[in-house]
């Protein structure tokens, strides 16, 4: 059950950050980075094990990849402009930072 909860929460964080990154040009992008980082940290605090954080990160990545590819009606949510590219790189880095920081000995 925790497996499904972590996947669902990771997908929810991914959806929220995709919708937020293009909202207000610099502020929405920063807010999506903060949302991504805090979402992975909440998974760490709630479920404790690293496997749940990795599953949530994979769900986030799946939602982001699905939002970046054209759909049936050629709709795309992550455009290949500066904000879209920064969102992909910065979101991935914030996930890596949240995963590494959660395992450090000195908090």
Question: Where would I find the beta strands (DSSP E) of the chain?
Answer: none
Q: What is the pTM of this model?
A: 0.87
Q: How confident is the model at residue 4 (pLDDT cuts 50, 70, 90)?
A: very high
Backbone φ and ψ for 74, nearest 5 degrees, come out as 60, 30
Q: 72 vs 35, which has greater pLDDT? A: 35
Domain ranges of the chain: 2-89
- In this predicted structure, the answer to whether residue 65 has a pLDDT above a threshold of 80 is yes
User: How do residues 75-96 score in pLDDT, each as one tens digit?
Assistant: 788 887 888 899 899 999 999 9
Contacts (Cβ under 8 Å, ≥6 apart) of 33: 17, 90, 91, 94
Q: Any idea which residue has 């880095």 for tokens? A: 93
User: How do residues 12-55 score in pLDDT, each as one tens digit?
Assistant: 999 999 999 888 878 999 999 999 999 999 998 888 888 999 99
CA proximity to 53, closest of 107, 6, 19: 6
């Amino acid at each position: 059950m925790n497996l499904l909860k972590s996947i669902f929460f990771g997908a929810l964080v991914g959806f929220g950050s995709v919708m937020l990154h293009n909202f207000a040009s610099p502020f929405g992008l920063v807010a999506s980075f903060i949302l991504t980082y805090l979402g992975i940290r909440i998974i760490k605090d709630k479920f404790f094990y690293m496997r749940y954080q990795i599953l949530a990160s994979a769900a986030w990545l799946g939602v982001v990849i699905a939002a970046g590819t054209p759909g049936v009606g050629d709709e795309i949510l992550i455009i290949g402009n500066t904000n879209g590219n920064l969102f992909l790189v910065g979101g991935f880095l914030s996930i890596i930072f949240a995963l590494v920081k959660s395992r450090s000995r000195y908090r």
